[in-house]
Amino acid sequence: MKKTKLFGGFLTISLLSAALAGCGGGNGQAENGAAGGSNKGEPKKLVISTWGFSEDFFRKEVYEPFEKEHNVKIVVEIGNNAERLNKIRQGSSQVDVIYLSDYYAQQGIDAGLFEKIDRSKIPNIDQIYDIAKAPLGEDYGPAYTIGQFGIAYNPTVIKTEVKSWKDLWNPEMAGKLTLPNITSTTGPMLLDAASIVAGSEAFDEDKAFAKVKEVNPGVVKYYDKTSEYVNMFSQGEIAIGPIMEMYFKDIQAAVPEAKFVSPEEGGYAVMNTVNVVKGSKNKELAEAFINWQLSKEVQEKSAKAKVDSPVNTNVQLSDEEAKGVTYGAEVIGKLRKLDMKAVNEQSKAWIDRWNREIAQ
């Protein structure tokens, strides 16, 4: 049997950073980043590569305050993870800062596409959860948000209370279930969950694939995009399936009675990172921007607007504000984290095997 160390166990959270927040706190330059300053004259250009969601929010609450503080003009390049990473790889972009999921950021690191960051220039790293500080190594960028991959279901259709990953294998779910495709960001998380359901805490590829084959006849569709999941759920084509918590609000808008569950074995951490691109002529300014993205001010506004879940431990949300947001040390401390280097190394083999054994 093929066994791989795929996940790093349950996440451990140190709240020492919260206790130290007062040492470097405040809303001034120490928190927001001193590099760049409010220089007079022609503004510098900082090119940021990102997904393009919540553009109005980012322009007003993230980009414009930083532009004013640092006399900079932010130019945004938009696209999905793969498209934007390929532009960097091909050298057809002048990007300084790039937002990527940890899965794609690891590919960028392996390809030597990112600068090593100077953590002394990003003091707000001290204020974020330990797991977010260096998800892909000390030399590279932090996670500015952590989402959760769990299970959503419609209790008016699914009568059994859902508590565990193993509930997806309940015969009641047949014909009502969707699962992520192996080529999606969360596909490897499904494989890891299948291995756990099969009784192997350490990832076992053979057991995982056997378990997916077992549930395969009851799967309505393996989805590639979250929009597919939301549409199927809204139209009643499915009633259960794993999904990232950040999209649950879209499901609940269509199906108010829907529930989101963090499985008792642990949901999976979905981390979005921010890095400085190799060859950037604005490295110090880029690091100041990363510092601003991690600030309590930006993190709190992002969370309250339901744009991103916060990693800054100083952010305080009410119960209502925390709905649909992956929030708090207790929640984050229970999440499971995949080893993205191992995932990338095995990805092609898993896709090939999936196409042979599952996608028939």
Strands (E), 141-183: 143-153, 177-180
Phi-psi region of 328 (alpha: psi -120 to 50; beta: other; left: phi over 0): left
Pairing of strands 143-153, 72-78: unpaired
Both structure tokens of 75: 């130019």
Tell me what pLDDT residue 39 has.
Answer: 52
- SS (HEC) of 7-30: EEEECCCCCHHHHCHHHCCCCCHH
- List the domains of the chain with CATH numbers: 17-147+270-326 (3.40.190.10), 149-268+340-357 (3.40.190.10)
* Degrees to nearest 5, angle at CA 342 with 341 and 344: 65
Question: What whole-number distance in Å separates Cα of residue 2 and Cα of residue 66?
Answer: 49
Pick from 163, 337, 195: nearest CA to 264 = 163
Q: Which residues pair with 260 in a beta bridge?
A: 152
The pTM score is 0.83
What does the angle CA 317 – CA 322 – CA 327 come to, to the nearest 5 degrees? 85
Please tell me whether residue 317 adopts helix, strand or coil conformation. coil
What is the token pair recorded at 238? 């499915």
- The predicted pLDDT at position 131 comes to 95
Q: Comparing C-alpha atoms, which of 35, 40, 42 is closest to residue 66?
A: 35
Each of the 360 residues of the chain gets a pLDDT tens digit; together they read: 444 556 554 443 333 333 333 333 344 344 444 444 445 689 999 999 999 989 999 999 999 999 999 999 999 999 999 999 999 999 888 999 999 999 999 999 999 999 999 999 999 999 999 999 999 999 999 999 999 999 999 999 999 999 999 999 999 999 999 999 999 989 999 999 999 999 998 999 999 999 999 999 999 999 999 999 999 999 999 999 999 998 998 999 999 999 999 999 999 999 999 999 999 999 999 999 999 999 999 999 999 999 999 999 999 999 999 988 999 999 999 999 999 999 999 999 999 999 999 987
Tell me the C-alpha distance between 268 and 263, whole Å. 9
Phi, psi of 218 (to 5 degrees): -95, 0
Write down the pLDDT at residue 200: 93
CB 107 within 8 A of CB 85: yes
Distance CA 314, CA 211 (A): 41
Nearest to 293 by CA among 72, 123, 45, 120: 123
What pLDDT, on a 0 to 100 scale, did the predictor assign at position 28?
39
